Structure 1
């Protein structure tokens, strides 16, 4: 026997179906909450609660004073769930490390095929800013993220770029909270590795770039395992 839908589920499905059936695009406006309530013969409170759920899922957004709109592609809900779960499960952190390793090494052939000089120079700029900020004691980790995002952007696939951001931010948040005292030397090693990877990409050497990226992640794995062992002592 099929499970009976709650009022909230009915409203959520109605809004989802409305978006699809009317071929709405990100930024397009949906009917007012009052109209939805009247159409479905439910209370405005029920519609408002359903909208909150869809907001949390990144499907719609409420612009106060303007109404309800379709939201563009995003993975905010995935990032929040992933970041939260990683705080309590170190095995998940190791699995995410493996996902990042496979993701980063696997995309390099496509990156090297499509990358243009402007992407390469942007990557060098991120690394130079990283080095300067680190030397001057300023925040530098976002330059690491931007380096990887720029490589993804070379492929021209927005979904890949979004996933890159998700994997990097979730992983970095978990590492920062779990191992807040990673030595400065480790970040210098990471920076040096990035310069080597970029040089291989610039030389269009797929095999070398993939090997350097894999070695880079193996180094990260070793440092994480060392920190786990220290914490257990």
Structure 2
């Protein structure tokens, strides 16, 4: 009986979340706008205050709203990083998902090629080349090379000028760390040299606006080929 009541409460909380989102949409509210108080929302949406409180807690945990003491409840800019981190956290618990996570990463970076070609300028490419140059610095430690590798792909996705791609960068970096700690990434001298060479080839293809070439190089690079 207790379990049934708990499930019903969760269902009501989810419904309340949907109603709050509907309220936001119907009233064309945007980031920075203030929501009504808990009491007002409960009355307007015809839901009990405890359920509204639970729903608001869920929305806050997802980074969709922020509660400011003495000021009220405000909408935030959507940030999908929290959601993707939660998803990755679940997937990383099963090594059988590794192949699908890699496939997701390949598709993500390949999809970034077109907007990068459309939006990136000379200064952007110079910044990528500088990162590659730094990764070839003599005496560079293994951990510093990994950080530069992370930065390269983060900068690459950032060139899309697409907020979603930029937010996903954090998730992609998390995969890098997962792959490295699981010994899926070749960090021998030959492996490092191959990574550097592939980074340069990818940037050159993007500069040349060679979409198919850049996509092919990214796939081979992320799959550890070449």
TM-score, scaled to structure 1: 0.74
Please give the alpha-carbon distance, in whole angstroms, between the structure 2 residues aligned to 1:144 and 1:62: 37
Shift of 1:105: 2.9
Which residue is equivalent to 2:176?
Answer: 172
Query: Number of aligned pairs?
Result: 217
Report Cα offsets for 1:75-104 as digits up to 9, x if no partner. 134323322223222231111211222332
Which residue is equivalent to 1:159?
Answer: 164
Shift of 1:216: 0.9
Please give the alpha-carbon distance, in whole angstroms, between the structure 1 residues aligned to 2:158 and 2:166: 6
Give me the CA root mean square deviation.
Answer: 3.3
Which residue is equivalent to 1:227?
Answer: none
TM-score, scaled to structure 2: 0.76
Which residue is equivalent to 1:230?
Answer: none
Please give the alpha-carbon distance, in whole angstroms, between the structure 2 residues aligned to 1:28 and 1:132: 49
Residue 99 of structure 1: SS of its match in structure 2? helix
Tell me if structure 2 keeps the 8 A contact 1:83–1:173.
no
Which residue is equivalent to 1:57?
Answer: 62
Tell me if structure 2 keeps the 8 A contact 1:29–1:69.
yes
Residue 219 of structure 1: SS of its match in structure 2? coil
Distance verdict in 2 for CA 1:105–1:50, change over 3 Å = closer
Tell me if structure 1 keeps the 8 A contact 2:81–2:167.
no
Q: Which runs of 5+ in 2 are unaligned?
A: 1-7
Please give the alpha-carbon distance, in whole angstroms, between the structure 2 residues aligned to 1:115 and 1:62: 38
Tell me if structure 2 keeps the 8 A contact 1:82–1:170.
no
Tell me if structure 1 keeps the 8 A contact 2:185–2:224.
no
Residue 69 of structure 1: SS of its match in structure 2? strand
